A and B are shown apart, each in its own frame.
Chain A
């Protein structure tokens, strides 16, 4: 699936006028246009996995199993959207799994030990996520701490804090409202799936239909160009980390409901699945490229594969291997895509080389991550 992805974006570039390759490309016309959509590969892979596994094991497509997939999807999917928006700026947020643990513990703790009304506990969970995101953004934009480093700090510290709160004991006896939230079904669709869809739509609107979203892309695509176009780069970066933290705080609430207790060990390693989902969905780790539809398809593909391996009775250990392989293919495809793009320029458009002697001589790659 990811092969075709790499192939398509190469084709993207060759549609430029003045390229030599015209004959076969024209004939492919309509099909080409569909295949050219960057997310085509991952969406096609989702369909393919679903169809094949359903043929192998019809139980896979049962409503009950689909609801399980939906619940997984809502947890990981909301995280992937938050982290994906961060990655759009060529940043990273490694902390989300631990933030889920910490937020859910604090929320449950307030609810059980201090009898705080559940509504406030839910708000508290989200607010803690937002505040952690704000702190990440502050360190990254004010002190130039690398995103990897500062969120690694939180990854460790928040997981530890979640455990320390109750010396590692789960908190039971939380308000039933958590469960209501997580287990209610509307027309057979679990409420968390609907929440996920709302979050995804909101993220889509932000990125595709607001000027702030476009500026986030610009900051990720070329930070210096964004700055010199008058875009407040720091504020946009800050916002992405706040969104990511808030998403983790929201997931924490759903998680309490799903397992019925505040569990300090929950969320461990989830950040990796979330990042993997975004990257599989075509979000470039170098920033500036990727869309919500891709992130959703990417995380859905992961959930489908995970669940398929369970339904097909594959050993849990191989599930990890499978996740790793899918991610590996996606990352390699990302590089192939970027490379195809870089080479397509001078080859496809001969005049493009006219960059003057100075620029040509020191044609060093942009400090994209800087």
Chain B
């Protein structure tokens, strides 16, 4: 699987971590391709880019959690690092603070901080509680985190856990410290602290990568800013030159500034199929919106802005805590996903493997899953009826497979997604909710899924589509709501679609009335 990067001569640039001819391909899609990029010692490098620009892939390659395509090289101070091995990356001095916290909740702060280390190792086999606590105290001081080293991590607040992650990474005395959106869970004071820590680490001769979507923070932390777009390095300039306008321009790409979209305009707005008034749920809202028959409403926003949360609340998968909804004029208050499906609401969730498919089960099962009750007579399923239904609806979406008895897990991502669309078309929903409908499908399949969405529209469904790909939203939507912290920051009509407008609202760089 992995190919050792040995036997390759490395030249110069010993002072830092370098990527050379590193790429990552999933199927036909190249998600990252970098010819040369060096994170120099003594410098904080900021990385910015849209969702899907390749940031996470690059960080994953550095941390060893993603195996790059063979042929490239990752080197720390000139020494090649075995690719795709977290252990090798850690041994080479790479420490990453990720957005998710891989902490062991039941263990104490001190135990988490020293996990995998042996403080006071002189005493051999036995666990040296005193040395562990002392080492932990030292680490906590560096991030100015005032918590009891003996407290279980599960009792800490989210910001405290984030700082604990930083302390844990620093405690490894890394040569490269990677901070992946370290401030997204923090308030301004802690965010400032993390930025100071990054600066100090660089001042002490280490290399630091700082990834963020709040541009002003990146500017404050970094000496130099690198912009990724579509998996490629498109800009690399000193922080002094990195103005908001320039960064966003580079992230978005000059050629896309004038937005071109498919023409769905000119439709008279019929009465809305679905409305939400002051809808709230945990971490969401209040949100008010409405969608009409044959209309597509786009939902934009950064990661964590509540896009999925909104769709799941509309689907009854997350309980609403307030507000009201209507579907085709009637009150709609789903207490379960079953209620939602029964009245004609459908959700294609974001994570196909975890949330959509029964991977080991045949295509047939996956197509009929949401309509089992409908196609059974007095509770009984008739194999022929089921086969016919499955063949009809899977076929209608253009999914390609050898047989409807084939396990869906053996199909490509695009074909799986088509089967899932077939599942919901069979339910004939009035409101179709799509969460990242083209994630993980190749370019050709993407176009066909857009075709399916057009078909849904033509059949009179109201569609709400959430996506991190703005081009996708521009192409599909009649209207876009931009979410920020679970609320609608802005509503954009078709003639207002532009990446700049969305990004500015979503990242809160400028408040737009």
Indicate with 1 or 0, residue by residue over A222-257, a CB within 8 angstroms of chain B CB atoms.
101111111110000000000000000000000000
**A27 contacts the other chain (Cβ, under 8 Å)?**
no
**B31 contacts the other chain (Cβ, under 8 Å)?**
yes
**B442 contacts the other chain (Cβ, under 8 Å)?**
yes
- Given A354-B441, A361-B65, A211 and B381 contact (CB-CB distance below 8 Å): yes
Contact of B358 among A222, A358, A360 (CB under 8 A): A222
Indicate with 1 or 0, residue by residue over B5-47, a CB within 8 angstroms of chain A CB atoms.
0000000000000000000101111011000000000000000
Residue of A at shortest CB range from B410?
A16
A225 and B26 contacting across the interface, CB-CB below 8 Å: no
B369 and A218 contacting across the interface, CB-CB below 8 Å: yes
Minimum distance in angstroms from B392 CB to a CB of chain A:
18
Chain A neighbourhood of B315, CB < 8 A: 228
A222 and B31 contacting across the interface, CB-CB below 8 Å: no
**B328 contacts the other chain (Cβ, under 8 Å)?**
no
Contact of B26 among A208, A232, A360 (CB under 8 A): A360
Minimum distance in angstroms from A207 CB to a CB of chain B:
10
Chain B neighbourhood of A230, CB < 8 A: 336-338, 340-342, 370
Chain B neighbourhood of A12, CB < 8 A: 407
- A342-370 residues at the B interface, CB under 8 angstroms: 344-345, 348-362, 366
B interface residues, Cβ below 8 angstroms from A: 24, 26-29, 31-32, 52, 54, 56-57, 60, 65-66, 100, 315, 317, 336-338, 340-342, 347, 349, 351, 353-361, 365, 368-370, 372-373, 375-376, 379-383, 402, 406-407, 409-414, 423, 439-442
Chain A neighbourhood of B337, CB < 8 A: 227-231
Chain B neighbourhood of A217, CB < 8 A: 358, 361, 365
**A209 contacts the other chain (Cβ, under 8 Å)?**
yes
Minimum distance in angstroms from B79 CB to a CB of chain A:
24
- Given A214-B372, A289-B360, A345-B410, A228 and B317 contact (CB-CB distance below 8 Å): yes
A349 and B354 contacting across the interface, CB-CB below 8 Å: no
A222 and B409 contacting across the interface, CB-CB below 8 Å: no
29 CB contacts below 8 A, A to B, read A13-B410, A17-B402, A214-B372, A214-B381, A225-B356, A229-B369, A229-B370, A230-B337, A230-B341, A289-B360, A341-B360, A345-B409, A345-B410, A351-B413, A351-B442, A354-B28, A354-B29, A354-B442, A355-B440, A356-B26, A356-B29, A357-B56, A357-B66, A358-B52, A359-B351, A361-B57, A361-B60, A361-B65, A366-B353
Chain B neighbourhood of A362, CB < 8 A: 100
Contact of A356 among B100, B361, B423, B439 (CB under 8 A): B439
Minimum distance in angstroms from A223 CB to a CB of chain B:
10
Residue of A at shortest CB range from B354?
A366
Chain A interface mostly helix, strand, loop or mixed? Answer: helix
Minimum distance in angstroms from A333 CB to a CB of chain B:
16
Chain B neighbourhood of A137, CB < 8 A: none
**A267 contacts the other chain (Cβ, under 8 Å)?**
no
B413 and A355 contacting across the interface, CB-CB below 8 Å: yes
Interface centre among A15, A209, A230, A289, by most B CB within 10 Å? A230
A interface residues, Cβ below 8 angstroms from B: 12-13, 15-17, 205, 208-215, 217-218, 221-222, 224-232, 288-289, 341, 344-345, 348-362, 366
Bound-complex Cα distance A348 to B412 (A)? 11
Residue of A at shortest CB range from B60?
A361
A13 and B407 contacting across the interface, CB-CB below 8 Å: yes
Bound-complex Cα distance A353 to B442 (A)? 10
B380 and A221 contacting across the interface, CB-CB below 8 Å: no
A356 and B409 contacting across the interface, CB-CB below 8 Å: no
Bound-complex Cα distance A221 to B341 (A)? 20
Chain A neighbourhood of B411, CB < 8 A: 349, 352
B412 and A351 contacting across the interface, CB-CB below 8 Å: yes
